[in-house]
Structure formats: C-alpha cells, structure tokens
Amino acid sequence: MKIHEFQARDLLASAGIPVPSAQMIESVEAAAGAYKAVTAGGGALAVVKAQVHAGGRGKAGFVRLVNSAEEATDAARFMLSNRMVSAQTGPEGIEVKKVLIAAGVDIAHEYYLAITTDRQTRRNVLIASAEGGVEIEEVARRNPDAILKQPIHPLLGLQPFEARNVAFRLGLKGKQVGQAASIMMALERLFRDKDCSLAEINPLILTPASSDQPDGRLLAIDAKFNFDDNGLFRHGDVQALFDPSEENPAELRAHRFDLSYIALDGTIGCLVNGAGLAMSTMDIVKLHGGEPANFLDVGGSASQEAVTEAFRIILSDSRVKGVLVNIFGGIMPCDRIAQGIIAAAGEVGFKVPLVVRLEGTNVEAGRALLESARASIPTLQGAGDLGDAAKRVCAAVG
Ligand code: GDP
Ligand code: MN
C-alpha cells in the first residue's frame, strides 16, 4: 500500500525527524490561507506540491516554489486542473486531487536516504547518497558507486555506529553527523514498526550555515512510504491512510473479491487460475501477436460470485476486444468457471469473441454446461490447448 507525501511527512514528524510545516488542501480557494499559515513564522518562500501516488513531480512541473499567496494560488490552480505526466505515470498522466503547501527552505545540499529490503542479501538495507534530489535514478544508472549501502542486521537493527559511519561517508561534518545518524535510526525504526517495504526521504536537505546554526540543519522535504499489505492487519493507523481515489477502480473491485488483478494496456482480457499459468498465458498471447488487457489470477478457491465478478471487471473495460479463458482445473473445478461464464453472459453478455480452454477437474461437466448454453453465448469458441486458444483469440481480435 502507498500513501501520500503529506501523510509520510506526518509519520516522519511523529518519529522525531525534522520536517518543515505544511498544509494539505483540496481546493484552489484554500491555497492563500495555507500559504499564510505555513509562512507565518518565517520568510516568504513556500513550495506547492501535487499529492499523487507517483514520483517525478519536480521534473513534471508539479513542485513549484512560490513567494506570495497569489503565486501559491496560481500554482495550486495549475496542479488541480491539469493532469500530471511524469516518468512514473504513463503518457495519459494522472489527475491531481490534493495539493500540499509547505514552508520553503534554502538548500545547501540534497541527500538521498532510504530503507528497503535487499532480496539478494535477504536483509533490510539502508541506502544513502550525497547525490540526492530529482536525479537519483540517473545517479544510480550512471554512477552506482555514489549510492552507499549499509546492510541491517535482522535482529539487532541499524546500529548507531553504522549510521554515523554512513553519515561520514556522505561527507557530513560536525553536528550534521549526529543529526543524520538520528534521522537514519528513526527512519529504520519506522520501517520496522510499521511493516514498510520502502521508507524513503528524497531529498534530505542541508540548510546553508547561519550564525546560530554554523553547521546548518538537516530536514526531510519529501518522503515516500510503501507498506507490506500482508502486515496491514496489525496497523489500523496505517490502514486509515489508504486513499481509494488514487487506486485503479477495477483493481479495487477485484481486491474486494480476493482476485489478483492488474490492469494493462492491451485488448485481450485474460481469465486464468494460478499466477504462473497467468504469466505464461500472457506470454503466449504476446507470442501470437496479441496484447493482454490484464493479468488476472482467480486462484484456486474463488467462489462462483468471485468468478462472475472477474468477468464483469474484464467486460467493463472498453478496450477489451476479446476474452481468453485459460483454466487448468486443479483445486478450481472447470464447471465453476463455466457457470461464471454463463452468469456473466446472462448479465452483461459477451459482445466480443470469447475463447475458452478448459482442462482438469470436472472438465467434462464444464464443457457440457457451456455446450448447453451455447445459444446465449454466440461468440464462444472452444479451444484444444493453450497454443490453439491463444492463436484463436489473437485471430478473432485481429
Ligand atoms: P519529486 O520530484 O516528486 O521527488 O518532488 P520533491 O518534493 O523531491 O521536489 C523536487 C525538488 O524540488 C527537490 O529535489 C528540490 O530541489 C526542490 N524543492 C522542493 N522543496 C523545496 C524547498 O522548500 N526549497 C527549495 N529551494 N527547493 C525545493
Ligand atoms: Mn523527491
């Protein structure tokens, strides 16, 4: 599960990590008031930031520095009325429904800091770089040595000496070292306490030296958290941060029925049981020149209603020009799938070609059911094996 930046900033603040003050708004009218509130204690600089579950906002023009309430209002209006297209959104972009107005800070340097799981070493890892900011992906590609990694002991957690060592390797000096180390320790504690899969601060910034702060100050000005869905049941506070308006509606519906569904860009709707079979079905569709419209694994124990809902979801996608059902009945009996097809045909109807390949448990009963319902599903074609099924559906879609 993902959360917004404004929620991530609250989490950081609750863990004692310094974050500039900010207010989330959902209308253009609220921008001036929020600007005044966050700049009340300091200078005129503020930053207006789109709140969406995608990064790359800075480069897309959806992070803007402003110096007055009017500029803040203009920036908020721009963000709330234009779709954001970034390297992480795809060409159609995403709608912005929430905007954050934060106190602006002067930046002497931008650092990167994150905790995630390293699957190769099977440990959590602290990742840090002195080349943080909007170019971090480019740094990782061009100059991987600029990315520091500190493995974290699974039982002991991040040790203070390890955090200080990373701080030194980032080139931090004087009071900055202690500040950075306590931020790293707090971030790692949050990661563990909340069952995160990612806890990232980018950038962690150093402010310029001043007379009362000769070493500057470290502040988090952007943060991203992802949570392990399997751990969510023990974190009511995290569940409460879920924002369904940021999720794909079809994926949300599927989730309610415990279906593993991921929307894709193609034209062939696929209904399969088992993740491995679903992957190979998508491969073979592509091999024959088709493009899958989705990944859908109905699993072994899906109910009649879940199977019918799966067809409803596939058929409600206007891009779907054909449907391929590929079932290898093990725990899932073929007749339950056949009943789902018949129910969906009765409710919404298959206006597009439907190719069905059934094999395994109760296959005879499944085929007999489909045969008896043939009149109500005129676009139905049976298929022999998986290759035959993929060829048929690709040919039918054209
Ligand atoms: P992202 O592009 O989605 O990761 O958005 P960020 O919140 O990280 O902002 C992108 C960039 O905008 C940062 O790397 C900074 O260079 C700049 N930025 C953001 N907030 C401030 C601020 O308060 N002051 C200054 N000077 N720059 C900022
Ligand atoms: Mn960022």
Please indicate, yes or no, whether residues 88 and 74 belong to a single structural domain of this protein. Answer: yes
Residue 368 lies in a domain: yes
Q: Return d(Cα 308, Cα 328) in angstroms, integer.
A: 18
Q: Return d(Cα 62, Cα 9) in angstroms, integer.
A: 18
Residue 8 lies in a domain: no
Q: Is the shortest distance between the CB of 61 and ligand 1 below 6 Å?
A: no
In the residue annotation, 251 being an active-site residue is answered as: no
Strand (E) or helix (H) holding 225 = strand 223-227
Residue 292 lies in a domain: yes
Residue from 221, 224, 225 to probe ligand 1 pocket by mutation (most atoms less than 8 Å from CB): 221
Please indicate, yes or no, whether residues 128 and 188 belong to a single structural domain of this protein. Answer: yes
Please indicate, yes or no, whether residues 289 and 365 belong to a single structural domain of this protein. Answer: yes
Domain of residue 189 covers 109-239
pLDDT per residue of the chain (398 residues) written in tens, 0 to 9:
999 999 999 999 999 999 999 999 999 999 999 999 999 988 999 999 999 999 999 999 999 999 999 999 999 999 999 999 998 888 889 999 999 999 999 999 999 999 999 999 999 999 999 999 989 999 999 999 999 999 999 999 999 999 999 999 999 999 999 999 999 999 999 999 999 999 999 999 999 999 999 999 999 999 999 999 999 999 999 999 999 999 888 999 998 898 999 999 999 999 999 999 999 999 999 999 999 999 999 988 888 889 899 999 999 999 999 999 999 988 889 999 999 999 989 988 889 999 999 999 999 999 999 999 999 999 999 998 999 999 999 999 98
User: Tokens representing 301?
Assistant: 């124990």
Please indicate, yes or no, whether residues 328 and 274 belong to a single structural domain of this protein. Answer: yes
Please indicate, yes or no, whether residues 186 and 225 belong to a single structural domain of this protein. Answer: yes
In the residue annotation, 112 being an active-site residue is answered as: yes
Q: Which residue has the tokens 């959590």?
A: 124
Please indicate, yes or no, whether residues 97 and 131 belong to a single structural domain of this protein. Answer: no
Please indicate, yes or no, whether residues 152 and 266 belong to a single structural domain of this protein. Answer: no
Name the closest-CA residue to atom 13, ligand 1: 133
Q: Is the pTM of this model over 0.95?
A: no
Q: How many domains does the chain have?
A: 3
Q: Is the shortest distance between the CB of 37 and ligand 1 below 6 Å?
A: no
Q: Cα of 55 to ligand 2 centre, how many Å?
A: 7
Strand partners, 213: none
Asked if 338 and 304 touch (Cβ cutoff 8 Å), the reply is no
Q: Cα of 58 to ligand 1 centre, how many Å?
A: 6
Neighbours of ion ligand 2 (CB under 5 A): 202, 222
Q: Which residues contact 393 (CB under 8 A, 6 or more apart)?
A: 268, 285, 290, 322, 323, 324, 353, 355
Please indicate, yes or no, whether residues 226 and 253 belong to a single structural domain of this protein. Answer: no
CATH number at residue 315: 3.40.50.261
Residue 5 lies in a domain: no
Please indicate, yes or no, whether residues 162 and 94 belong to a single structural domain of this protein. Answer: no
Q: Cα of 103 to ligand 2 centre, how many Å?
A: 16
Residue 7 lies in a domain: no
Atom number, ligand 1, closest to the C-alpha of residue 106: 26
CATH number at residue 80: 3.30.1490.20
